[in-house]
Amino acid sequence: MKKIHVEKTTSRGIVAAPVYLYKDIDLTPDQNKIEPEQIEPEKQRFQRSKDKVIEELRELAVENEIFGAHLEIAEDFTLVEGVLGKISERNNAEEAVSKTIGELEAIFSAIDDAYMKERAADICDIGKRYLAKLKGVTLPDLGNIDREVVVVAKDLFPSDTVKLNPEYVRGIITEEGGVTSHVSILANNMRIPILVGVKGIMSELAENKDLYICMDAGAGEIVIDPTEEELNIYQEKKVQYEESVRQIETLREKEPVTKDGKRIRLCVNAGNPEDVKNALPMKIDGVGLFRSELVYMEKDHFPTEEEQFEIYKEAVKLSPEELTIRTLDIGGDKGLPYFKFEEEDNPFLGWRAIRICLEKRDMFKAQIRAILRASAFGNVRIMFPMIVSPEELRQAKEIVEECKKELRQEEKAFDEQIETGMMIETPASVLLAEEFAKEADFFSIGTNDLTQYLLAVDRGNKKIAAMYDFFHPAVLRAVETIIKAGHKEGIMVGMCGEMAGDPKAVPLLLKMGLDEFSVSAANLDYVRKIILEN
């Protein structure tokens, strides 16, 4: 028997079942250069494989909207032209696909925002599909599993995960991947407990794959080859857990009201309309953070006003009461495939977020106009990121007023009373919170960056990961300062960082007077339960 503990998890569930060790096939391309006369035939071969991949993805997208995003990636101009360009450089189609996918993956992997970083897995999934078609091989089908198992793999892609039958696949463990990946989201939606980033799990099982495995996803516990006593304990825990889930889900019909009668707003963090739709069964108040940068990152150009308007309109029509759109938050670690940033010694402290938007005024106005037009279809709020001075906030609000004036002249509808607020995520914004509260309609605390800046701890640096702590006294004091400053001026204060979904943090935040929790869909039911208990 061996026990493994996983630090970070957003999944829950108790599992006891035999191991199913999943090894992907080798799709490594042949790196031999092609002759000049082979370039055009090779391009045609790629185009044929592209047509087959797109046909497959269209069928999958009917069943699951995640594959709608995959379809956009597969058809994306940057990807397709990148492959064709590399074939022109005398790479065969497989090598051209591999190199292009590698470049796009690197862009997304370098992003510090966990949600964006995990989109790299989607890029790799598309590459895997292309390579399989080009090589004429059939990818392993996890849909053929017909017995109760825990699937253990180096990594899974969404196209693997969607085939899993929850009746048989009781749990998933992967060596790689992150808690915000589409694989994690899919598994959580399918009610399959999942633990990701479990280093060394494949080698632990390589010699003997016919082992039983127990896992408690919520506690991050894995037991390999459990004793009979340990197995019985897990079976009992599983029964208790399933009963608790049924009880928690019945709470969805209750409004999130604390014992002293305060109505708390409970919202979801989203990156696209599909995320909003998936959270609706959990009875959300709306979207407390809509990450608009994903709209930009999925294009091969700065999205037009019209392209953005259609996405925001779809999201607000789905959102019950509120859609808070964070304006473009790129720079630092968040790049775009079609826009080159100058190299900076300290990109996290450099040209990013609102600083870019105020300088690239036309691009910013296209987004603001799209958001304003979407506000005609529901309650939309505009939220500015990385504000450090009242002057920045005023400039951003002036651009909003300028766009309103233009839309009135064009007789285009929008909400005249639309609220404009800001993220509080820098030490400067904490110290100036009282001044900001006089000019902002609402605050949303971004604890991910705020913790990083307050503690001078790079949250992506594994060597000092233990120092990155929401519960550090400086972070707690900053959060309390922000809430008091907002309430002094009568504005609502919410939180959209990971701290808002931490079960240990929720009671503290309620005592401090936080008005709105905006969390991942996986945490909504549990945050509601804690609110009702406090």
Active site residues: 182, 496
Rounded Cα–Cα distance for residues 210 and 189 (Å): 28
Residues 326, 116 contacting (CB under 8 angstroms): no
Cα 258 to chain centroid distance, Å, stands at 29
Q: Please provide the size of the chain in residues.
A: 534
* Pairing assessment for the beta strands 380-384 and 419-424 based on DSSP bridges: parallel
Q: Which tokens belong to 144? A: 């053929």
* H or E segment and range at residue 241: helix 228-250
Residues 60, 186 contacting (CB under 8 angstroms): no
Rounded Cα–Cα distance for residues 340 and 378 (Å): 35
Rounded Cα–Cα distance for residues 397 and 391 (Å): 10
* Pairing assessment for the beta strands 221-224 and 212-216 based on DSSP bridges: antiparallel
Q: Which tokens belong to 485? A: 């400053």
Rounded Cα–Cα distance for residues 378 and 319 (Å): 8
Rounded Cα–Cα distance for residues 489 and 492 (Å): 9
Residues 422, 436 contacting (CB under 8 angstroms): yes
Rounded Cα–Cα distance for residues 384 and 117 (Å): 21
DSSP state of 138: P
Closest CA to 270 of 304, 307, 319: 319
Please, what sign has the CA dihedral across residues 41, 42, 43, 48?
Answer: positive
Rounded Cα–Cα distance for residues 471 and 451 (Å): 9
Cα 77 to chain centroid distance, Å, stands at 23
Closest CA to 516 of 498, 492, 490: 492
